[in-house]
Structure 1
Amino acid sequence: MASTPELGTAAPDFTLPAVVLSGADVQQRRFTLSEHRGKPIVLAFYPGDDTPVCTKQMCAYSNELEKFTGVGAEVWGISPQGLDSHEKFARRHGLQLPLLADPEKRVIREYGISLPGLGLKRSVFLIDADGVLRWKHVARLGLTYQPVGTLTVQIAALG
């Protein structure tokens, strides 16, 4: 299994399809990491739509999106489920952050967080405005997640 990217190195670039909920409307579009330079990006990898901890995590991030935008950052949720699952998940919980689909687990493997037979390790990567990995947290068990306050402090520290 590949190791996670090193801090201070360029974050692996990728393009994935996503679901974005805006009010009652859902858009499907593609997200490419390198096209979002100029602002920090939080990549929140989570094991599965509508699972207890993942639902709490994505709801917390969505409910406090203004704290992320207040420090100039975007948050993207990434998991192996497809767009249909993501759309149901977003609608059911009113999630206002993009949910990216990685069913082939290509990006999950590139970021070194694949768990054979189980999917992935719950992980958060903070990419700065220049596309450099500045902070990461890879959970051993995935029963908890990084709170909004911890992430926004790390983003603000980027200066």
Structure 2
Amino acid sequence: MVTTGDAAPDFTAPLANGNIEEFTLSERLEDDAPIVLAFFPGAFTSVCTTEMCTFQDRLATFNDLDASVYGVSRDSPFTLNEFRAQNDLEFGLLSDYNKELIDDYDIEMDFADLGVYGVAKRSVFVIDGDGDVAYSWVSDDPGVEPDYDEVEAAVEDLS
């Protein structure tokens, strides 16, 4: 599992930002770092919606710290654009439809009783300008949200 101090796995994924664009982590580091990657199991579910809306509510603080926030899930970019629109999210959402990021970051979980496999554990990674993981948090309990103050503090430590 990727943890604090590791080099963040580089990736290219579809970015749902109202349109659909290609997002490559290594290419975004110079302009967007620090980057907060907030992985969540699935759009339109209760805790995931609450989490993404909480990041939206705190977006001004991240912007003041010159940090960029991105949500990440296995949902299609089309689904993520609708999720963004319905929840007035101003930050982009990355589609890991093929589960490559989940595998690279080693954060896969299943809801076997529901027949849902290979979604992301709720997790947050803060990536610094050098591409290193400055903060990591991974939950085995999909009902637990991250400590948002802790995420903000990790970003602030990079300023």
Provide the residue aligned with 1:65 in structure 2.
59
* Aligned-pair CA distance for 1:118: 5.2
* 2:65 pairs with 1:75: no
Moved more, 114-123 or 34-43: 114-123
* 2:8 pairs with 1:5: no
* Aligned-pair CA distance for 1:74: 0.4
Provide the residue aligned with 2:27 in structure 1.
35
Q: Classify the secondary structure of the residue corresponding to 2:15.
A: strand
Q: Classify the secondary structure of the residue corresponding to 2:37.
A: strand
TM-score normalised to structure 2 length: 0.89
2:14 corresponds to which letter in structure 1?
A: P
Provide the residue aligned with 1:53 in structure 2.
47
User: Of 91, 102, 107, which aligns to 1:97?
Assistant: 91
Provide the residue aligned with 1:119 in structure 2.
119
Q: Classify the secondary structure of the residue corresponding to 1:37.
A: helix
* Aligned-pair CA distance for 1:85: 0.8
Q: Gapped runs of 5+ residues in structure 1?
A: 21-25
* 2:129 pairs with 1:129: yes
Q: Which structure 1 residue ranges, 4+ long, deviate > 4 Å from structure 2?
A: none
Q: Gapped runs of 5+ residues in structure 2?
A: 111-116
Q: Deviations over 1:45-103 (max 9, x none)?
A: 00000100000000111122111111111011000010121111111111111011111
- Could you tell me how far apart the structure 2 residues matched to 1:101 and 1:64 are? 22
Provide the identity percentage. 35
TM-score normalised to structure 1 length: 0.89
Alignment RMSD, CA only? Answer: 1.3
Contact 2:14 2:95 in 1 (8 A): yes
Q: Classify the secondary structure of the residue corresponding to 2:19.
A: strand
